[in-house]
Amino acid sequence: ALKLNQIMLSSYHLMSEYANIKFIHVSGTRYYQSVLDDIEKNVYQVGENVKILGYLKDMPTYLHAADLVISRAGASTINEIIA
């Protein structure tokens, strides 16, 4: 999960010009505070169209609304995505 967070956070500066596209980044509770700290320290440039969350309680609603999901490939995650 750490590497996926780093890769996605490193790419969001490229997405800032696409204000009509919304990104929901679920970092995981373990990494949430360090992600916010890194953004605060300008380690990562994250535009207004990116929302960082530690955890998502209503995952099915967000998955249903998504056009694209970039995720870890665990069995539980795959089941949530295809549901």
Residue keyed to tokens 């970039």: 70
Smallest CA-to-CA distance from 16 within 40, 42, 45, 36 is with 45
Q: State the chain's mean pLDDT as an integer.
A: 94
Whether residue 61 has pLDDT greater than 90? yes
Whether residue 73 has pLDDT greater than 90? no
Report helix, strand or coil for 79.
Answer: helix
- Say what the pLDDT of residue 12 is: 96
Give the predicted TM-score (pTM) of the model. Answer: 0.88
